[in-house]
Amino acid sequence: MTTITTFNKTKIGRNLEQYYNLFRVNAEFLKTQDKVFFNEIVNVLDDIIFNSADSVYFRSNLISEKAFSLYKNGYTTIGQLCKQHRYPRKLSTAYILNNVCDWSIKQFREEIKRLSVYDLTTSEENNEMTPFQKDGIFNWNNPLEPYDKLNMKMIEHEPLKGRRDDEHIGVEQFMNDITHLQSAPLV
């Protein structure tokens, strides 16, 4: 059983230099292209970044009250819940492409870590978030704002960081720790 406990053990962390170079090369090229082509490439690179950062390591300590209730009552598993990225994936990818040429590899690493964090929600809640994930609407200074605007109550739980392929064991630990759950104040 492999335990992912550090960024460097995640898929993107293990290959950070290659991803960094890939994005720097593409960013330079994309500066000379039109906006439509840029957006098409953002769609492709979005999957490269966030599928490579798809590890429980990036899970936050927030789960929606509705998702938790469904899980607790046996209607879903943690693995079936939606990974609601705090920072919209496409906006994050465009942000990376627009800035990566000015970043050191260390800065790139820190931005990937920040932008890859996700909370757990239901599919329905995930869809409700879509209007808030648009350029000019999303608040980069308060990525939790959409939860407040949608009256979506989020609950803190012990993060299950360090587990990727062994969700079952992570879930057992999660259930052992739920006695101290409290509503998370969203700032």
Does 186 reside within a domain?
Answer: no
Q: Which long-range contacts (C-beta less than 8 Å, at least 24 apart) are formed by 40-46? A: 41/97, 42/90, 42/93, 42/94, 42/97, 43/90, 45/93, 45/96, 45/97, 46/89, 46/90, 46/92, 46/93
Does 54 reside within a domain?
Answer: yes
Count: domains in the chain:
1
Supply the pLDDT for residue 2.
54
Contact status, residue 122 vs residue 70, Cβ threshold 8 Å: yes
What residues of the chain score a pLDDT lower than 70?
1-5, 53-54, 158-187
Supply the pLDDT for residue 115.
93
Supply the pLDDT for residue 93.
92
Specify the DSSP class assigned to residue 61.
E
How far is the C-alpha of 32 from the C-alpha of 70, rounded, in Å?
A: 48
Does 2 reside within a domain?
Answer: no
Does 185 reside within a domain?
Answer: no
Supply the pLDDT for residue 39.
86
Q: How far is CA 119 from CA 22, 75, 145, in A?
A: 28, 19, 13
How far is the C-alpha of 124 from the C-alpha of 107, rounded, in Å?
A: 34
Residue with tokens 């769609």: 43
A 10 A CB-CB count for 47 gives 11
Does 171 reside within a domain?
Answer: yes
Residue span of the structural domain in which 45 resides: 7-180
Does 139 reside within a domain?
Answer: yes
Supply the pLDDT for residue 163.
45
Supply the pLDDT for residue 95.
93
Tell me the H-state helices in the chain: 11-14, 16-30, 35-52, 65-72, 89-99, 105-115, 123-128, 145-149, 167-177
- Tell me the average pLDDT of the chain: 80
Q: Which residues pair with 121 in a beta bridge?
A: 82
| Closest to 40 (Cα-Cα) out of 117, 123, 102, 97 | 97
Specify the DSSP class assigned to residue 183.
B
With 0.85 as the threshold, say if the pTM is over it. Answer: no
Supply the pLDDT for residue 186.
34
